């Protein structure tokens, strides 16, 4: 007797598979350098939450070339249209010595560096998610992972296009590279989930959100809001899978993963010191980094980057002494009470509100054009 399988969209009846050989006897695994490739001939997808995410992932696909208005111009002197207080070295001796043109160059380089790291992180996510589809043992997780591969390709396309318009890009930051290297070379499938879906994507979501909420530039706001709409699903995907898997591990195995999380969070915090920018601009790198480390505004900024990671790690059951100690030392332990579902629902609403505003603006423009055409036609008659 088969078990319930994946229902087709719009179908009331649940499909059933009837297997000639018990599915426990039909699995197949092979090896490559990145871990175990798992094939499953069991197509009974049973986890409703993952299937709902898969269905949503299919329906929420979008075209970066159409949904984003790429005709919008970027101000090269202040690409994000934010106050100077948002600049990492604002208030430093180096900043005070600069004239308007030099400060404009700092703003442009900071945005180029930040969006470049977004771009590199999204390519890392693209590769990691392809690996997840390859390595994860369950078919419902493979289904959803396939939709995320397309999401990540779209994000790489969008951030690459933004940087082309800006006319400046930076190579990958060494801290991000080190984290991606650890995630990609570990053969255990759950480490790929943990490193990408929870840690890297969680940090990215917080950074995207700060830009989305603070920028006065409509292009940057729309780009980050639309990417966040996808990323919220990605983090939820990791939560669902790992929350079910980690209780099955031994205490020693969970402790090992907690240690990995603590080290990764320190790495990610240091990723935002932007030493490459200060070097490229000819500033005293040590002086700039020292200022960024101690600046109250920058300390607060780096703390906000963990608003998604802290409650997610608690949710999936990796919140032991090592993780708690790291978050306490970082000053972010208070984020453990953040309502994850609430903030992700807000990500969804914000993207839809931007879409609605754009449709309304297009409708107003069409109405004005129709009025002009009618006036011209009346005059001609």
Give the tokens for residue 252: 């020693």
Within 13 Å, how many C-alpha atoms sit on residue 214's CB side? 15
More confident residue, 269 or 252: 252
CATH number for 198: 1.10.620.20
- Cα–Cα distance for residue pair 361/363, rounded to 1 Å: 5
Which pair of structure tokens corresponds to residue 129? Answer: 């998610």
Instruction: Report helix, strand or coil for 12.
Output: coil
- The answer to whether residue 123 is domain-embedded is yes
206 shares a domain with 100: yes
C-alpha to C-alpha distances, 30 to 37, 38, 136, 184, nearest whole angstrom? 5, 7, 13, 18
CB 314 within 8 A of CB 336: yes
CA–CA dist 125, 28 (Å, integer): 26
Contacts of 193 (CB under 8 A, 6+ apart): 132, 136, 238, 241, 242
Structural domain including 325 reads: 49-369
206-213: list long-range contacts, CB under 8 Å, 24+ apart: 206/304, 206/305, 206/306, 206/307, 206/308, 206/309, 207/114, 207/118, 207/305, 208/118, 209/347, 210/301, 210/304, 210/305, 211/80, 211/114, 212/350
Are 307 and 202 within one domain? yes
Separation of alpha carbons 36 and 53, rounded Å: 25
The pLDDT assigned to 3 comes to 42
Task: Write phi, then psi, for 184 (nearest 5 degrees).
Answer: -75, -25
The yes-or-no verdict on residue 13 having pLDDT over 80 is no
The verdict on 188 and 98 lying in the same domain is yes
- The residues facing 16 across adjacent strands are 4
Quote the CA–CA distance of 72 and 49 in Å, as a whole number: 38
Each residue's pLDDT tens digit, 186-245: 888 899 889 988 998 888 899 999 999 999 999 999 999 999 999 888 888 888 889 989
User: Shortest CA distance to 231 belongs to which of 188, 200, 269, 276?
Assistant: 200
Are 32 and 164 contained in the same domain? Answer: no
Within this chain, do residues 17 and 159 fall inside the same structural domain, yes or no? Answer: no
In percent, how much of the chain has pLDDT > 70?
88
Same domain, 89 and 224: yes
How many structural domains are present in the chain? Answer: 2
Residue 237: the pLDDT is 85
| pLDDT > 70? residue 6 | no
pTM of the model: 0.84
Domain identity same for 30 and 65: no
Are 158 and 68 in contact, with CB atoms under 8 Å apart?
yes
In the 8-state DSSP scheme, what is residue 22?
-
- What is the pLDDT confidence band of residue 181, given thresholds at 50, 70 and 90? confident
Token readout for 240 is 């669902």
Please tell me whether residues 101 and 241 are part of one structural domain. yes
Distance in angstroms (rounded) separating the CA atoms of residues 149 and 117: 19
Residue 278 lies in a domain: yes
233, part of any domain:
yes
pLDDT digits (tens, 9 = 90+) for 72-111: 999 999 999 999 999 999 999 999 999 999 999 999 999 9
Position 267 pLDDT exceeds 50: yes
Nearest to 125 by CA among 225, 220, 50, 203: 203
6-10, 261-265, 343-347: the lowest-pLDDT one? 6-10
């Amino acid at each position: 007797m088969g078990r319930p399988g994946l229902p087709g969209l719009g179908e009331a009846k649940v499909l059933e598979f009837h297997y000639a050989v018990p599915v426990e006897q039909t699995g197949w695994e092979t090896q490559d350098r990145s871990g175990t490739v798992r094939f499953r001939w069991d197509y009974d997808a049973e986890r409703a939450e993952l299937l709902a995410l898969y269905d949503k992932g299919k329906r929420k696909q979008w075209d970066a070339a159409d949904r984003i208005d790429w005709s919008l111009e970027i101000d090269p002197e202040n690409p994000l249209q934010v106050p100077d207080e948002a600049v990492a070295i604002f208030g430093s001796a180096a900043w005070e010595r600069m004239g308007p043109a030099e400060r404009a160059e700092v703003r442009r380089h900071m945005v180029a560096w930040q969006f470049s790291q977004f771009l590199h992180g999204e390519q890392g996510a693209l590769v990691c998610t392809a690996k997840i589809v390859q390595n994860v043992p369950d078919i419902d997780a493979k289904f959803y992972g396939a939709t995320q591969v397309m999401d990540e390709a779209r994000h790489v396309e969008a951030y690459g296009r933004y940087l082309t318009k800006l006319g400046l890009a930076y190579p990958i930051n060494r801290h991000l590279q080190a984290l991606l290297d650890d995630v990609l070379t570990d053969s255990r499938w759950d480490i790929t989930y943990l490193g990408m879906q929870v840690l890297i994507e969680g940090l990215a979501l917080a950074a995207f959100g700060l830009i989305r909420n603070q920028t006065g530039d409509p292009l940057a706001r729309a780009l980050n809001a639309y990417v966040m709409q996808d990323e919220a699903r990605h983090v939820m995907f990791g939560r669902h899978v790992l929350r079910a898997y980690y209780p099955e591990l031994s205490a020693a195995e969970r402790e090992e993963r907690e240690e990995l999380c603590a080290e990764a969070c320190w790495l990610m915090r240091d990723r935002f010191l932007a030493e490459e920018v200060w070097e490229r601009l000819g500033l005293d790198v040590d002086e700039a980094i020292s200022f960024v480390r101690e600046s109250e505004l920058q300390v607060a900024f780096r703390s906000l980057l963990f608003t998604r990671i802290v409650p997610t790690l608690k949710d999936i059951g990796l919140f032991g002494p090592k993780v708690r100690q790291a978050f306490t030392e970082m000053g972010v332990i208070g984020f453990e009470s953040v309502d994850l579902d609430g903030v992700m629902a807000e990500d969804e609403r914000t993207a839809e509100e931007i879409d609605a505003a754009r449709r309304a603006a297009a409708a107003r423009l069409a109405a004005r054009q129709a009025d002009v055409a009618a006036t011209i036609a009346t005059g001609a008659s």
